[in-house]
Amino acid sequence: MEEWYKKIDGSSTVDELEQIRIAIFGKKGILAAEFAKMKSIAAQDRAGFAKELNEHKSSLMEQLRAKKEQLMLMKLQEDMEAEAIDVTLFSSMSQRGGLHPVMQVMDKIVEYFVSMNFSINTAKMIEDDFHNFEALNLPKYHPARDMQDTFYFKDEMLLRTHTSPVQIRTMMKEQPPIRMIAPGAVFRRDFDITHTPMFHQVEGLVVDDESVVSFANLKYILEDFLHYMFADVEVRFRPSFFPFTEPSAEVDISCIFCKGSGCRVCSQTGWLEVLGCGMVDQNVFDAVGYKNVSGYAFGLGVERFAMLIHHIGDLRSLFEGDIRLLEQFR
Ligand code: PHE
């Protein structure tokens, strides 16, 4: 028997080990042969013989198992070393891109709000009807749902059409005061020179005691933010409608191309719309079970900001993945 322990110990590949296993445990293996000898052994010695054999059987099995584990680990290590890629190697073929302009603008937006003590929250891009619509005061069959043409999955699941569901998820998880932004990708069934099916938004939400949060706070922070993003612009608030805010407003900046005198980009109005905002609707607070609080919320499209800041004419060019575009923004 001793030789078999040595053979197991000395095997150097999983295949070799398997051959040894068959030689020991197979139908025609040495254990079968040993057990067959039982018949010719004197009755009084049989029990001792069987016991010894069974002990060998289990210790050989255990040794095989341990050896196999060790060999497989070694093989894995070897494979990993053989397949390793040196990512630091220089290649004359490499073309260097850069951080995507949308992400550069996103970073700048996030930086502003972080400096104003907002925390950053995120949630999944696949949402359910409740968080994307219902809890935001957009009941089923409400005509305002048409403002956002939606990609649906089965079972009431959908690709979120805005970052506003992060408001709901945050309020259902945390207690006020809340002061957060939610950057992320959103999806709508739209495709033309100013719309792509996927784009990015930054949502903002501030909730605190009734006496603390007012429209004046909202107006201050958005004006300050827009002056940070676009030096030398005028900012105006225009009454508007969103189901989840009341009152609601859209925010315009004076056209950065014609300085407000009227041009093609601003459709001769002298103004460019850049944000939606308002005071959080009481129905939204009811949906998340908040009482005696007040809050404001806002949402903006990052691509829209990027197009204005970098004078990009066709939004779709941002998503073609052409490295020549990225090279311009290094
Ligand atoms: N969710 C709105 C949209 O996508 C934007 C918005 C957010 C408006 C928060 C008001 C308050 O159009």
Confidence of residue 325 (pLDDT cuts 50, 70, 90): confident
Condensed to tens digits (0 to 9), the pLDDT of residues 267-284 reads 999 999 999 999 999 999
Is 39's pLDDT higher than 90?
A: no
The boundaries of every CATH 3.30.930.10 domain in the chain are: 101-329
Q: Which of 147, 159, 162, 284 to mutate to test the pocket of ligand 1 (most atoms within 8 A of CB)?
A: 162
Indicate which atom in ligand 1 lies nearest the CA of residue 300.
5
Task: Give me the sign of the Cα torsion angle 68, 74, 79, 80.
Answer: positive
Percent of the chain with pLDDT over 70: 100
Ligand 1 binding pocket, CB closer than 6 Å: 162, 164, 203, 242, 245, 276-278, 297-299
DSSP code per residue over 54-105: HHHHHHHHHHHHHHHHHHHHHHHHHHHHHH---TTS--TT-----S-HHHHH
Query: Which amino acid is residue 19, in one-letter code?
Result: Q
Whether the per-residue pLDDT at 67 is higher than 90: the answer is: yes
What one-character DSSP code corresponds to residue 281?
Answer: P
Mean pLDDT for the chain overall: 93
Residue type, 259: K
Distance in Å, CA 211 to ligand 1 centroid: 24
Predicted local confidence at residue 74, as pLDDT: 93
The C-alpha angle 179, 180, 186, rounded to 5 degrees, equals: 150
Question: Alpha-carbon distance 261 to 28, whole Å?
Answer: 97
Residue 91 confidence (pLDDT) above 80: no
Mean pLDDT score, 17-24: 95
CATH class given for the domain over 101-329: alpha beta
Going from the C-alpha of 227 to that of each of 104, 239, 287, 302, the distances in angstroms are 17, 21, 34, 16
Rounded to the nearest angstrom, the distance between the alpha carbon of 263 and the centre of ligand 1 is 27
Which is nearest to 56 in space by CA: 45, 66, 68, 64?
64
At residue 45, does pLDDT exceed 80? yes
Residues facing 278 on adjacent strands: 248, 297
- pLDDT confidence of 53, banded at 50, 70, 90? very high
Distance 203 CA to ligand 1 centre (A): 7
- 35: Cβ contacts below 8 Å, ≥ 6 apart: 50, 53
| Segment 79-97 mean pLDDT | 84
Closest residue (by CA) to atom 2 of ligand 1?
299
Per-residue pLDDT of 139-186, as tens digits, reads 988 887 877 789 999 888 999 999 999 999 999 999 999 999 999 999
Q: Which residues contact residue 75 at a Cβ distance below 8 angstroms, ignoring those fewer than 6 apart?
A: 13, 14
- Looking at the predicted structure, is the pLDDT value of residue 326 above 90? no
Single pTM value for the model = 0.72
Q: What is the pLDDT of residues 210-242, one digit of tens each?
A: 999 999 999 999 999 999 999 899 999 999 999
When pLDDT is averaged across residues 292-320 and rounded to a whole number, the result is 92
Q: How far is the CA of 192 from the centre of ligand 1 (A)?
A: 21
